[in-house]
Amino acid sequence: MFRHQKELQFEVKVDCPDPMLARQVQEVLGGQFGEMTVMMQYLFQGFNCRGEEKYKDMLMDIGTEEIGHVEMLCALISQLMDGASPADQAEAAKDPHMAAIMGGINPQHLLVSGLGGLPTNSNGVPWNAGYIVASGNLLADMRSNLHAESQGRLQVARLYHMTTDEGVRATFRKMLARDRYHQYQWMAAIAELEEKNGVVVPATFPPEAEMEAQEEAYKFWNLSEGEQSAEGLWATGSAPDGTGDFKYYADPDPEGNIPNPTVPASEVHHDLDKELLKRK
Amino acid sequence: MFRHQKELQFEVKVDCPDPMLARQVQEVLGGQFGEMTVMMQYLFQGFNCRGEEKYKDMLMDIGTEEIGHVEMLCALISQLMDGASPADQAEAAKDPHMAAIMGGINPQHLLVSGLGGLPTNSNGVPWNAGYIVASGNLLADMRSNLHAESQGRLQVARLYHMTTDEGVRATFRKMLARDRYHQYQWMAAIAELEEKNGVVVPATFPPEAEMEAQEEAYKFWNLSEGEQSAEGLWATGSAPDGTGDFKYYADPDPEGNIPNPTVPASEVHHDLDKELLKRK
Amino acid sequence: MFRHQKELQFEVKVDCPDPMLARQVQEVLGGQFGEMTVMMQYLFQGFNCRGEEKYKDMLMDIGTEEIGHVEMLCALISQLMDGASPADQAEAAKDPHMAAIMGGINPQHLLVSGLGGLPTNSNGVPWNAGYIVASGNLLADMRSNLHAESQGRLQVARLYHMTTDEGVRATFRKMLARDRYHQYQWMAAIAELEEKNGVVVPATFPPEAEMEAQEEAYKFWNLSEGEQSAEGLWATGSAPDGTGDFKYYADPDPEGNIPNPTVPASEVHHDLDKELLKRK
Amino acid sequence: MFRHQKELQFEVKVDCPDPMLARQVQEVLGGQFGEMTVMMQYLFQGFNCRGEEKYKDMLMDIGTEEIGHVEMLCALISQLMDGASPADQAEAAKDPHMAAIMGGINPQHLLVSGLGGLPTNSNGVPWNAGYIVASGNLLADMRSNLHAESQGRLQVARLYHMTTDEGVRATFRKMLARDRYHQYQWMAAIAELEEKNGVVVPATFPPEAEMEAQEEAYKFWNLSEGEQSAEGLWATGSAPDGTGDFKYYADPDPEGNIPNPTVPASEVHHDLDKELLKRK
Amino acid sequence: MFRHQKELQFEVKVDCPDPMLARQVQEVLGGQFGEMTVMMQYLFQGFNCRGEEKYKDMLMDIGTEEIGHVEMLCALISQLMDGASPADQAEAAKDPHMAAIMGGINPQHLLVSGLGGLPTNSNGVPWNAGYIVASGNLLADMRSNLHAESQGRLQVARLYHMTTDEGVRATFRKMLARDRYHQYQWMAAIAELEEKNGVVVPATFPPEAEMEAQEEAYKFWNLSEGEQSAEGLWATGSAPDGTGDFKYYADPDPEGNIPNPTVPASEVHHDLDKELLKRK
Amino acid sequence: MFRHQKELQFEVKVDCPDPMLARQVQEVLGGQFGEMTVMMQYLFQGFNCRGEEKYKDMLMDIGTEEIGHVEMLCALISQLMDGASPADQAEAAKDPHMAAIMGGINPQHLLVSGLGGLPTNSNGVPWNAGYIVASGNLLADMRSNLHAESQGRLQVARLYHMTTDEGVRATFRKMLARDRYHQYQWMAAIAELEEKNGVVVPATFPPEAEMEAQEEAYKFWNLSEGEQSAEGLWATGSAPDGTGDFKYYADPDPEGNIPNPTVPASEVHHDLDKELLKRK
C-alpha cells in the first residue's frame, strides 16, 4: 500500500514559461526512457519479486521514488505552460518570433491536457508498457535498469543544453545527480549478483545441455566487410567468465542448409502450381 | 549494402510439427526481446555510428548476423506449422486432446500468414520500434544490448523446457550459445568503454555543472517501509567510480515545496470557481 | 445497412486556408475524443445491443450522425490545406513568418494524405480502437458516452479560441451545439436507466455476495497527507442510493499482510540463491 | 512524494493455482479499464489540478490507493501461476484436460514475466496511455472517472462468475465493494460540480457565441429507420438544465451543401486529368 | 450525411454457437484486412477525393456498403457467442472437450464486450488507422484497395474451412462473392486510370527530372545468391509501359561510397574519444 | 544468412544541413510506406515462401536491397542533422527565422537518437509490423507490394518538391527510379501469376462452393445518392475474367432481416429489464 506526501521531492521553479521546452521535456516524462518507464518498471519488478527480500525492498524504494519524479515533471510542465492559453497562442501567432515558437508547441498541451503534463513522449506518442520489463530474473532486470538510467540521464543532459532558464536547469541538475546515483546503484546490485551466480543470464541453464553448441559461445562471425571489428576485446582473449577463448572468424560459412518448406494443403490457398501440389 | 546467401546460419530441423509451440516461439522472433529487436537495434546503432570505426564495424557484423536469425526462426515456425491447415484444424477439433492444442494456436498462423512466421510476439502483438534504441552514445547503447541479450537468452531457456522435440532443442541450443557469446561481447565492449570514459553515462556532462546537486548522487532514499535495502552494496561503501561514498537515508524528508500552479485563463475552460478566477 | 447522401450535415466554409489549424483540428477528428471515436463507439454499442429496441435505435441514430461528422471534418481540413502544396511550402519557408507556420504543419498532410484529413490526432498518432467501449451494459456505456461528449466539447471550445476565421468558427458553433445536445441526450438516457436499475453498475451483481466486504463500499481512505478531501460530499452523508453512510478514515491501516510468494522452480530461471531453492 | 508500506491493502489468498484465470485477471490489471488505468488517470488528474485544493487532495488519495490495487493484483496473479513452470506445462500437456487449460494460458506469463503479473490486458496487449485523460476540466474528468469505475466493476463482476475459488472470490468482493464506493464518490463529486457550474461541459463557453447554432442543441436527428428512439427522455420534454425543449426530427434533411474541394496543384501528384487541372 | 436501415445487407444465421470461431472471425472484422479497414479506407478516400466525381461517388457507394459489413459481422459474432456467459464457461471447463474450446476463447468476448463483436483482430489487438491509406492519388489508392480485397478474401476463404456450420458458411459465401466483385471493381478502375495516365505512380513526376538516374528504373539487382530470379518477366523484356528494357545484374557493385558522418559536438554526448573530437 | 558491404548502394551527399527536412524524410524511412516497411515485408514474404523457388529468390533479392535503402536514408538524415546539436538549437532560437525551423524539428532527433535516423515516421510514430503482410498467397502479396511501391514513390515525389538542395534531390532521383523499377517488377510478377491462376485471389476456392451467392459477384450496390458511379468500367460490361457481366443496382434493397439477438444470461450483467429476462 502507498501513501502520498504533498511536498515534491525536489523544488521545481521555472524562471520563465516556455511552451516549446514543455514539449521537449515530455520525452523524459512519458518517453521510452522517461520517468513513467522507470516508475512502472521498478514497481512491477518489485511486485513480482520472489524470495529475495533485500532486492524487493530496494526495488520498492526506488520505484516509489520514481512516482514522485513523474509528479515533479508534471509540475515542471505546468509551469512551463503558464499563460499559454489558446487565445494567448492565437495572439502570439501575429508576431513572427512567437509564431515560430508556436509551431514547436504540442497542440495537445492546449487541447487535451489544458496546460498540464501528458502521459506521452515529446512527439505525443502515448506511453506504453512495451517499454518495460519485469522478468523475475534479477540480473537480467537490473541490466535493464542500468540501461534505462543510462539512456535517461543522456536525454536529460541533452535537454540541459536546450534551455538557459536557471530555474529549469536546477531541476535538471537534481535529476542528473539522481540518475547518476541510480546508475551506481544498479552497477552495485549487478556486481553482487554476478558475484553470486556468474555473469551469464540465466545462470541456471545447465552448461552440459549447451555442450554440443559450445563453440558458438566464443565465436565472432565477421559478416560485415572489413576487419576493424577484430580489434576489440570481444574478438581476442578470454570470455569474461574464463570459460573459453574468443575466436575471430574472418570469413565464416553458414552451417545450415537451404530451407525447403513443405508445400501446404490447397485449402491454405497459396494458389501454387498444380504441378507443385501433385509433387506433394 | 547487403547480400543474402541461401543457406541458414544454423540447421533447423523439427522432429514433429507443433502449432502450439509455433505460437510460443513467436515471442523470441517478434517480441520485445526477440530477434527482430536485436536485428533492428544493432543495425540502427551501426547506421548511426559516428567516428568510431571498430564499433561501427562490430555493430554491422552482429546486426547482419541477426537478420539471419529472424530468417532461421521463420524457417522453424514454418516447420512447426506443417500440416496444420484450416481443415486439419477443424478435423482436429473433434478429438479433445487435439482440440486442446487448437485452443492454444495463434489463429493468425492460419488466417494471416498461411503457416509462416509472423512479425509479432506470442500473443500476436505486432513488433514495434518502441522496443529499440540507437542513441549515439555507445556505452548507453551497449548496456541496452547487454540487457536485450540477457532477456532474450532467458526466454529461450524457458522455451527450451516447453518442448521435448530434439530437433527444436538443437536449434535452441545454438541460440543459447550465440546469446551467451553476445552477452560476453557486450560485456567486453562495455569494459573497454568504461575504461576510456568512466562508468557514468554520459561522461561528457561537466561535473561542475552538477556540483550544487552533488550529494544527491550518493544518497539512498528509503521510501519503502523496512530497511532490508540497507544491506546491499548500493547502500554502503564507495561509488563504483570512487567519486564519493553512499549514504543511506532511512527516513528522508522531501526537499521541495507543495506545488501551487497558477489558475489558468478562462478560455482554457477549467470551469473554476469565479472566486478563483478573480484571485488571479 | 447504410446509405449516403451527398450533402454535408452542416455547411463548411473556410474563409482562409490555415495549415497549422488543419493540424490542430485533427485532434477532434482522429484523437481520443474525436468524431471517429464517438462514431465507432456508438455504432458498436448499437450493433451489439441486445433486447432493448429503443436504446438500440437511438444508438444507431446518433452513430449514423457521427459518420457524417467525420465527413464534415475531412471537408474542413481539406479547405484549410488548400494551396499548401509541397512547393508552396518550400517557397513559404523563405519568409520567416510563413516558415514559422510551416514548423507547425503536420508533414503527413503533405506527404501522406495529399492535403486531405488523416485518421490520426493532432500529433499524428493513428486512431485506435483502444479508445472505445461497447460493453453490453447500457448504463456503463452511456456514462462513457457522456464523458466522451464532455471531453469532445471541451476540445472544440479550446480550438474555437485558436482561430479568428469566421467560417471555421461557424462550423465549430454547430459542433458545440450538437455536443451540447449529445451531453443532454446521454444525461437523459442515464436518468432513465438509473431510475430503472439503480445507480451502481452492474445492478445485477447480488448484494448478498458482496456482504462480507460491505463496509468497504462506504469508506474514504485518506492516503494523501492533509484532510482537505474530507470536505466533499463523498466523505460525509449518505451514498447516492441511500444504502449506507460514508465514513472518512483519516489514517487508515492496510488490511492485508505482506505478500510472500513461493520460490519458483529452477527452470523458471530466476537464478535464485541455492539456499532459497533448498527451502522450497 | 510517495511512500510504500509493505502490507497489501487487502488480503490476497488463492485456494488453488489456476493459470487460465491468471490470464483473465490481466484484463482488470492492465486492460482499458484495469487498475493501471485508474491509477494513472487519477494521478495525472491530481498532478495537473490547478487551484482546487479539495479536489486535488481527493484525487491524490484515490490515485494513491489505486497504486496499491495494481500491487494487489500482481500478488493475485503470482499466486494463480504458482507451480506453472515451463516444465510443469510440458508435463501437463500430456493430459487432455490439463492441455486444454494450457491452450488458454498466456505464454508470456511463462516466457516474459516468469510467473508474475504483466502490464498488459487479457490478450497480452500492453497498457497504453491512450486509455486515460486528465483535461484540467474537473467535471469532464470526473465523468470519465465514473465511467471507468462502472466498466471496471462490470468486468470484475463478470470475472467473479468465472471462478469458484473462494480465496479469489474474496479478493474480488473487496474490489467490487471499492468499485462501488468509487462510483458513489464520483457521483457525489459530479453532483457538487454540476451544482456550481451547470451540467454542460465546458460551462465557461459563452452561450451567446453559440447563439446562431442554438436550435441544434435541442434537436434529435432520426437517422436510423424506425422511430423507437422517439420514446426516450432525450426526445421529449426539457433539457436537463432547462434551457430549451427537445425536438424530434423524424426525417431531417442535411443543412449543408455538397462539398466541392479545390483541384490541387500538380506537384501534389493526384495525377488528375489535364482537363481538371486546366479548369483550375 | 448518412442514414441507417435496420435490415442487414445479407442474412446472418448461425446453426450452432461456437465461441472459438467467434474469436477467429474477429480477424475479418477488426484485423489488418478486416471490414473495419476497408470501411474506413474507402470512406476517407471518398471524403478526401478532389475533382473526380465518378470515382468519389463510387468510393462512397462501396465505403457505405462496408459499414454494413461491419454491422453484419457483429451480428454473426453475437450469435456465435450465444449462451457463452461467464458461468457457462466455468461450467464448461469441467468437461475436457469444452475446456479445450474455452482455451481458444477470447476472454474479452466475455469480460469486455459482454458477448458482442470487438473492434479488434483475432488476437485482440485493437484496430488502428495505421492499416489504411487515402493519399489523394487515385491509382495508388485503388492498388491499395485491390490488395486489401485480395488479402480479405483470402482470409475469409481460410476461415471457411475452419467451420462446418452451414449457417455461418452461407454468410461467408456472400462475403466471398462480394470480395470477388470488389476485386473486379478495383481492377476495372485501375485499368481505366492506367489507360489515362500510364502505369507508374505518380504519373505527374516529370521524367526529365529523373533522367540522370534513368537506368536504375530498369535494373534488377541480384543480391541474393543464386540466379533463379533471372527467370521472371521482371528480368527480361520491356517495362510494362515500353519505356525501356529490363537488365539483370547478376553481381552488382554498390555505386555509393562508405559513409563518413561528421563527429558531433560534445554536448550531443556521444562520449567520443578526445582524439576524435580534436580532429573535428 | 546475410552479409554487409560497407559502401552504400547509392551515393548520399547533402549540400546543406536541414533539420526540418530530416524530420520530413523520416516518413519514407519509418512510415507506413517507408523503406522499413518494404524491407520487412519482402523479407518475411521471402522467408515464408513455400515451393516457388524463382519467386522466393526474387523476394530475397529485393528484400536484401531494401535493407540497404534503410541504411542509405539513415546516412541522409545524419547529414541533414549535422551541426544541429542541442546548444546550436538554443542559439538558433534567438533568430526568428531559425526559430521557425526549430519549431519544425523532431525533438527526438536531438534527445533520443543524437542526430541519427529514427525507426519512426515524420510525426515520430514508431514503425510497427501492422504495416506489413506475408500471407503465403503470392498474388495477394505482390498486389500488396505494388501498392506499397506506388505509395512510396508518391511520397518521395512529394518530398522532392520540398527541398531545393541538389545533393538531396540526387538521392531522391535514384529512389524515384528504383521505385519505378519496383512498380514494373511487381506488375510483371502479377501478370505472370494472373496468367497462371486467374485474376481472383484466392484462385483455389472452389467456384461451386460460391455458387448460391454467385450473382453477388457482379453487382454494383449504389448506396450513395447520385449515379455518377454508373459511368465506370466496374458498372457495365464483363468481369475481367469473363465469368459474368456487371449489373448496376441503382436503388438496392437489403437482403437480410433485422437482427434480433438473444437476451443474455443475467450474469453477463447487461442489467436488462426483468421483463426481458423473463421472456428469455
Query: What's the pLDDT tens digit per position in F99-155?
Result: 666 778 999 999 999 999 999 999 999 999 999 999 999 999 999 999 999 999 999
Q: How many CA atoms lie within 13 A of D262 on its CB side?
A: 20
Give the length of chain E: 280
Q: Is the pLDDT of residue B211 over 90?
A: no
pLDDT above 90 coverage of chain F, percent: 82
Query: Comparing D164-178, E203-217, F15-29, which segment has the lowest mean pLDDT?
Result: E203-217
Q: Which residues pair with D238 in a beta bridge?
A: D245
Contacts of D263 (CB under 8 A, 6+ apart): D270, D272, D276, D277, D279, D280, E50, E51
Contacts of C162 (CB under 8 A, 6+ apart): A86, A87, A89, A90, A110, C21, C24
Give the length of chain A: 280
Q: Does B1 touch chain A (CB under 8 A)?
A: no
- D28: part of which helix (H) or strand (E)? helix D19-30
Q: Is the pLDDT of residue A97 over 70?
A: no
For position A157, what pLDDT does the model report?
A: 96
Instruction: State the average pLDDT over residues F47-66.
Output: 95
Domain C208-280 has CATH 3.30.1530.10: yes
**Interface touch A114/D130, C-beta < 8 Å:** no
Query: Comparing D115-124, D242-251, F82-91, which segment has the lowest mean pLDDT?
Result: F82-91
**Interface touch E51/D276, C-beta < 8 Å:** yes
Q: Is the pLDDT of residue E146 over 60?
A: yes
* CA A265 – CA B86 distance, rounded (Å): 9
- Asked whether F165 and F18 are in contact (CB, 8 A), the reply is yes
- Asked whether C125 and C23 are in contact (CB, 8 A), the reply is no
With H, G, I as helix, E, B as strand and everything else as coil, classify residue F245.
Answer: strand
Q: Angle CA(D157)–CA(D163)–CA(D169) in degrees, nearest 5?
A: 60
Nearest CA-CA distance, residue F227 and chain A, Å: 37
Instruction: State the average pLDDT over residues D207-229.
Output: 92
For position F112, what pLDDT does the model report?
A: 97
With H, G, I as helix, E, B as strand and everything else as coil, classify residue C219.
Answer: strand
Residue ranges covered by each domain of chain D: 19-197, 210-280
Phi, psi for D190 (deg, rounded to 5): -60, -40
* CA C119 – CA C26 distance, rounded (Å): 8
For position A98, what pLDDT does the model report?
A: 65
Query: Comparing D170-179, E204-213, E269-278, F267-276, which segment has the lowest mean pLDDT?
Result: E269-278
pLDDT above 70 coverage of chain F, percent: 94
- Number of Cβ within 10 Å of residue C276's Cβ equals 14
Q: Which residues pair with C220 in a beta bridge?
A: C248
For position C210, what pLDDT does the model report?
A: 85
Burial of A263 (0-12, 13-18, 19+ CB in 10 A): middle
Query: Comparing A145-154, B150-159, C95-104, E266-275, which segment has the lowest mean pLDDT?
Result: C95-104
The more confident residue out of D214 and D221 is: D221
Cα torsion through C85, C91, C94, C100, rounded to 10: -10
The more confident residue out of E88 and B251 is: B251
Phi, psi for A161 (deg, rounded to 5): -80, -10
- Asked whether C201 and D183 are in contact (CB, 8 A), the reply is yes
**Interface touch B99/E102, C-beta < 8 Å:** no
pLDDT one-digit tens code per residue, D101-116? 677 899 999 999 999 9
Q: Which residues pair with B128 in a beta bridge?
A: F128
Residues 233-262 of D with CB under 8 A from E: 254, 256, 261-262
Q: Angle CA(D132)–CA(D133)–CA(D135) in degrees, nearest 5?
A: 175
Cell of A180: 547518476
- Pick from F29, F15, F23: nearest CA to F69: F29
Query: Comparing A200-214, D6-20, E36-50, E225-239, which segment has the lowest mean pLDDT?
Result: A200-214
* CA E221 – CA C229 distance, rounded (Å): 70
Nearest CA-CA distance, residue D19 and chain F, Å: 22
Residues 109-168 of C with CB under 8 A from D: 110, 114-115, 125, 128, 130-131, 133, 135, 137, 139-140, 143-144, 146-147, 150-151, 153-154, 157, 160
Confidence band, pLDDT 50/70/90 cuts, at residue E128: very high
pLDDT one-digit tens code per residue, D59-68? 999 999 999 9
Task: Quote the pTM value.
Answer: 0.96
**Interface touch E89/D155, C-beta < 8 Å:** no
- Number of Cβ within 10 Å of residue C274's Cβ equals 11
Cα torsion through A157, A162, A167, A173, rounded to 10: 10
Cα torsion through D54, D60, D63, D65, rounded to 10: -100
Q: Is the pLDDT of residue A209 over 90?
A: no
**Interface touch D137/B254, C-beta < 8 Å:** no
**Interface touch B40/F119, C-beta < 8 Å:** yes
Cell of E168: 455461418
Q: Does A68 touch chain D (CB under 8 A)?
A: yes
Q: Which residues of E touch D121 (CB under 8 A)?
A: 108, 124
* CA B127 – CA B107 distance, rounded (Å): 17
Q: What's domain D210-280's architecture?
A: 2-Layer Sandwich (3.30)
For position B209, what pLDDT does the model report?
A: 86
Q: Is the pLDDT of residue C49 over 60?
A: yes
Nearest CA-CA distance, residue D158 and chain E, Å: 6
Q: Is the pLDDT of residue E101 over 70?
A: no
Domain D19-197 has CATH 1.20.1260.10: yes
Q: What's domain A206-280's architecture?
A: 2-Layer Sandwich (3.30)
* CA C84 – CA D187 distance, rounded (Å): 48
Phi, psi for A238 (deg, rounded to 5): -100, 155
Q: Which residues of F touch B119 (CB under 8 A)?
A: 40, 44, 129, 132
- For E268, the closest of A158, A267, A269 (CB atoms) is A158
Burial D152-190 (b: 16+ CB within 10 A, else e): bbbbbbbbbbbbebebbbbbbbbbbbbbbbbbbbbbbbb
Instruction: State the average pLDDT over residues D251-276.
Output: 89
* CA A116 – CA C63 distance, rounded (Å): 31
For position C21, what pLDDT does the model report?
A: 94
pLDDT one-digit tens code per residue, A152-162? 999 999 999 99
pLDDT one-digit tens code per residue, F240-279? 999 999 999 999 999 999 999 988 988 899 998 777 666 5
- Pick from D41, B229, B218, D113: nearest CA to A64: B229
Parallel, antiparallel or unpaired: strands F2-4 and B2-4 = antiparallel
**Interface touch E3/D124, C-beta < 8 Å:** no
Confidence band, pLDDT 50/70/90 cuts, at residue E51: confident
Q: Does C4 touch chain F (CB under 8 A)?
A: yes
Nearest CA-CA distance, residue B99 and chain C, Å: 27
Which position has the grid cell 462480394? E178
* CA C134 – CA C48 distance, rounded (Å): 7
**Interface touch B154/A137, C-beta < 8 Å:** yes
pLDDT above 70 coverage of chain B, percent: 94
Tell me which chain D residue has its CA closest to the CA of residue F161. D267
Instruction: State the average pLDDT over residues E65-69.
Output: 98
Instruction: State the average pLDDT over residues C27-31.
Output: 98
Whether residue D264 is preceded by a cis peptide bond, meaning omega within 30 degrees of 0, is: no
E-assigned strand segments in chain C:
2-4, 219-221, 247-249
Instruction: State the average pLDDT over residues D210-214.
Output: 86
